Structure 1
């Protein structure tokens, strides 16, 4: 079992740049995509969540996600969920989601929604999320909107 700590990352910090690198490696490179400066600039007011593993004197980010207020009142969108490939399937993703849900609930949000990649929908369903509507394409691959009530 990995000993992790979770914290909010400051936009533009060293941790933020490490978070972007992790997201790039896990989410973008496999699709042949990269982040633009304009895209990243939009995250300045988002809640940036990191999962960090400490070993001896070094700390490294092993997972992350972003919470962005959605256009519907009381709804927050979870975006850019990523876990380092060398520690996947160890419960880190579930722990990140739990931490994000607690933050969202404490901030007064009643629903957490996401655009989940098709291959990740089973993971989110196990955590209580429901698929809403039809499959759609985002970043060139199939996605579903998924939601969970936080109250």
Structure 2
């Protein structure tokens, strides 16, 4: 099981960023890396609550690579910890028949106020063996880029 860490300075307050991580429509907009798109299936914002979401690969991408189906990564995220404007911890499980993609992955997000913005750090722990750490880091970088564009 691997661990990755990505950080990005974003010109927004911790409050605005926390809200972007805790609103279904916002997550649909920026959570999907690159040209992927997102769709929220269910959402229950509370510690112990969860959400279910799909990330769809663009039709232009010809390689089959989805974790759940050809063009889809579907997952369930359980809220382990919600500390408003400071920290979010989620336990994520992919909907997959491939044992190398299953298991509970932990995503820990912290918001640290810096100057006129916020340092957003995302640590993934227990990354399933079927996901290359460098792919996870690249996807997280693309997601943080979309998040910055969404809130700035």
TM-score in terms of structure 2 length:
0.34
Structure number with greater CO (CA < 8 Å, separation at least 6) is 2
TM-score in terms of structure 1 length:
0.35
